[in-house]
Amino acid sequence: MTTDPLDSVQVRLAGVIQKQEKHTRGYAALARLVTEAFYRASDSKWQRGAETTDVIDRRKLRRLAQGDLDVVLSLRELRALDIYLEPFGEGLAYRPLFEKPDLVQTLADSSDVTFLLGSRMAGEDRSFPHWDVLSMALLSRRLTASGANVRLDIRDVPMYPEFKWSDPKRPDDWLSLFEDGGPSLVCFASNRTMAASEYMLSRMFEVEPFEEAADFDQDRLPFHFVWNPNLERVQDSSFRYGLEELESIDPTAAAQVRAGQGSALVFDDRAVVDRVTARHWGDAYGVCVAQRRASGRVWLLLGGVSGPGTFAAARKASSVPIRLPEAGTRKHSAVHWAVISGRVPEEHAADNQLLRALDEQMVTTPRTWAPR
């Protein structure tokens, strides 16, 4: 199957023209303004309202706004667009025609972002997982550097088993953040212990949180975790497979997990084993999951099978070619997800928390999931 090389980029100019058309209330009016700007720049004697043929006509502007890749533009037409758009900071001499999808920029453009970070009691205080804090700090720097006017906030969420969904006295004030009108949200860590990650995934994929789904609902989900049986803190989830399911997919992986040598991530009828938690080095795996909600806000989960898997997903997030639809559709978008890997070298087994680069890679190209 061949792939169009333009599939991984979007026509930046299309969005710019769409915004201008809304402002001018029509492509005919926009074509006239582009023409006036062009002639004013080339002839100081030209007067507004002069009878001239539009430099670029309204039909061509409409096709450009629709992202038509077969539009033919002359250098004269490109120059006219450049002159008109320059005062808006969108001149073609400074801004590219195309841009790659940037998930972090999309998140920044939502203007109001809250990080959800798992925490647990540690004596009289609360502690936070090391890799999740690193991931949050990294993403915070990238959002701040995006150039967008973004407001950042942090909320800590009690982790399992301190948080139990079945406990009527559970601390759940953070759940209000998921309601309509809430901010864009970023969850760090998998749903093994992180309550907010389980809740976010369940809302995205439309299953009940904190419980195992019926076989039909479970099988339609695109990925699952199979946890090392030596791990004590594991909460119920539709995204959790048992060793029996893993055995039917990959007997070798099932044997490793059964022996406590690691935990597995299952997707595309295959399994990968993350052994970092068990032996402190090796390949780490995580998922990057994103959705545009009906409110226009963005939900993003960066969840690793291990801590380094979460950090690898956070490091790769800005270059994963996930293109979320523009805000304003008033419905949830499809869920976009990709599997990310990283590697902790054996020589760093004793001090892997000092690592800041994991040779992170995309294991899968981004996929989309939508309810049947």
Residue 317 backbone phi and psi in degrees, to 5: -55, -40
**The predicted structure's pLDDT at residue 8:** 46
Q: Are residues 205 and 88 in the same domain?
A: no
Looking at the structure, tell me whether residues 329 and 292 fall in a common domain.
yes
Which residue, 41, 68, 99, sits at the end of a domain? Answer: 99
Query: What is the mean pLDDT of each successive set of 10 residues along the chain, which is 372 residues long?
Result: 42 82 90 90 66 85 85 91 89 75 89 96 89 96 90 95 88 92 96 96 95 75 96 90 95 98 97 96 97 96 97 95 84 96 93 87 94 74
In angstroms, the CA 236 to CA 175 distance is 18
Q: Are residues 351 and 339 in the same domain?
A: yes
Asked if 137 and 159 count as a contact pair (C-beta separation under 8 A), the reply is no
The pLDDT assigned to 132 comes to 97
Does 263 share its domain with 309? Answer: yes
Of 34, 66, 99, which marks where a domain is finished?
99
Tell me: do 91 and 114 sit in the same domain: no
> Do 87 and 199 reside in the same domain of the chain?
no
Q: For the chain, how many structural domains are there in total?
A: 2
Q: What is the pLDDT of residue 11?
A: 67
| Domain shared by 242 and 298, yes or no | yes
Domain boundary among 77, 99, 121: 99
101 by Cβ neighbours in 10 Å (0-12 / 13-18 / 19+) ranks as middle
Name the token pair of 234. Answer: 């594991």
Residue type, 199: Y
- Could you tell me which residues come within 8 angstroms of residue 339 by beta carbon, excluding any fewer than 6 positions away? 223, 265, 267, 272, 285, 286, 287, 362, 363, 364
Which runs of E-coded beta strand occur in the chain?
Answer: 10-11, 98-99, 112-122, 125-127, 151-158, 184-188, 223-226, 263-267, 270-274, 282-292, 298-304, 335-344, 361-362, 367-369
Beta strand ranges found along 84-146 (DSSP E): 98-99, 112-122, 125-127
Same domain, 166 and 288: yes
Q: Are 221 and 251 in the same domain? A: yes
pLDDT at 328: 78
Q: Are residues 225 and 343 in the same domain?
A: yes
For 243-297, give the DSSP string. Answer: HHHHHHH-HHHHHHHHTTS-EEEEETTEEEEE-HHHHS-EEEEEEEEEEE-TTS-
107 and 86 fall within a common domain: no
Question: Which structural domain, as residue segments, surrounds residue 329?
Answer: 103-369
Give residue 94's pLDDT. Answer: 77
Long-range contacts of 331-334 (CB under 8 A, 24+ apart): 331/294, 332/291, 332/292, 332/293, 332/294, 333/291, 333/292, 333/293, 334/291, 334/368, 334/369, 334/370
Question: Do 49 and 115 belong to one domain?
Answer: no
The candidate with the shortest Cα–Cα distance to 339, out of 239, 221, 202, 223, is 223
pLDDT digits (tens, 9 = 90+) for 288-317: 999 999 999 999 999 999 999 999 999 999
